[in-house]
Amino acid sequence: MSTVPDINLNDGNAIPQLGFGVFQIDPDETAEAVIEALKVGYRHIDTAEMYGNEREVGEGIRASGLDRADVFITSKLNNSYHDPDDARRAFDETLSDLGYDYVDLFLIHWPLPTLYDGDFVSTWQTMEEFKADGRARSIGVSNFQVDHLERLAAETETVPAVNQIEVHPYFTNEAVRAYGQEHGIATEAWSPIAQGGVLEDSTITRIADNVGKTPAQVVLRWHIQRGDIIFPKSVTPSRIQENFEIFDFELGSGDMEEISGLDQGEDGRTGPHPDTFDKVPS
């Protein structure tokens, strides 16, 4: 039986707080990793058109024997397709590659404020169409800064259900999280263990020793207690299992504060800055 709590979204839908991420999983290894994750108990998969493995995510889910309705699937719009007509075609392709007639959540992957004449608003209005026709049960954004979210609030009808942003102990991204909290936008924390970069931190290893858990479990638990949604990635079966076993212990407030205190501000950011990121796949 699953022990993963749900987070309620602002549109009435619910999302499992722990999922499985498939960024940088080779398409050849993706179905196997998804099957393994579903066997362990994960019921939420986070993919993207730009990861190049949507087809294999669908294959893995079908091979697991689970019903479509039992797995929460997120995908994201490719940076190349922000123009409304392109976005419509790209979303059709996402569904056809996954092999399903809906996704649970579809996101604008990056705001790209230096491209498309700075217009992510018409892209968002196109996402609203996908929600209205039921092919995206929920819609959200990723890598949106506070000013990007404010612009959507001023110029469009729908508040994003989620904002998927970089968050881990070295980059706690508090201002963007706080905006989300105030406005009913759930935070999804990507690279929750900083791709392994926080696991040798002496504060984290000490807390892990004290509570009898691994550093990864401590960091993932810290996210859970902060209320964020996470989907650690691994192709290693033992780690897929390890990352799921985070609901049988609790961190005290002192440990929580110490981990949050590792924040390095902008110096801790490992990914690109959303204000300037402009990579468009050819």
Q: Which residues bind ligand NAP (CB under 6 A)?
A: 21-23, 46, 109, 142-143, 164, 190-196, 199, 216, 231-236, 239, 242-243, 271
Beta bridge partners of 279: none
Identify the bridge partners of residue 6 per DSSP, sorted by sequence position.
16
d(CA 205, CA 182): 33
**Least Å from the CB of residue 17 to ligand NAP:** 14
Catalytic residue among 51, 100, 170, 179: 51
What minimum distance in Å lies between the beta carbon of 143 and ligand NAP?
Answer: 5
In 10 A of CB 276, how many CB atoms? 9
Q: CB 247 → ligand NAP: shortest distance, Å?
A: 15
* Rounded least distance, CB 188 to ligand NAP, Å: 8
Residue 15 phi, psi (nearest 5): -130, 135
Question: In the annotation, is 51 catalytic?
Answer: yes
Q: Is 113 helix (H, G, I), strand (E, B) or coil?
A: coil
Closer Cβ to ligand NAP, 26 or 254, answer by number: 26
C-alpha angle 268-251-260 in degrees, rounded to nearest 5: 20
Q: Which is nearer to ligand NAP, 29 or 92 (CB)?
A: 29
**Residues 238 and 187: beta-carbon distance below 8 Å:** no
Render the burial of 85-108: b for 16+ CB within 10 Å, e for the rest: eebeebbeebbebbebebbbbbbb
For ligand NAP, the closer CB: 156 or 195: 195
Point out the residue whose Cβ comes nearest to ligand NAP.
21
Q: For ligand NAP, give the closer residue by CB, 173 or 234.
A: 234
Q: Which is nearer to ligand NAP, 26 or 174 (CB)?
A: 26
Amino acid of residue 19 = G
CB of 250 to ligand NAP, least distance (A): 19
Show the tokens assigned to 125: 């209005």
Counting Cα atoms < 13 Å in the Cβ hemisphere of 17 gives 19
d(CA 54, CA 47): 6
Q: Annotated active-site positions, please?
A: 51
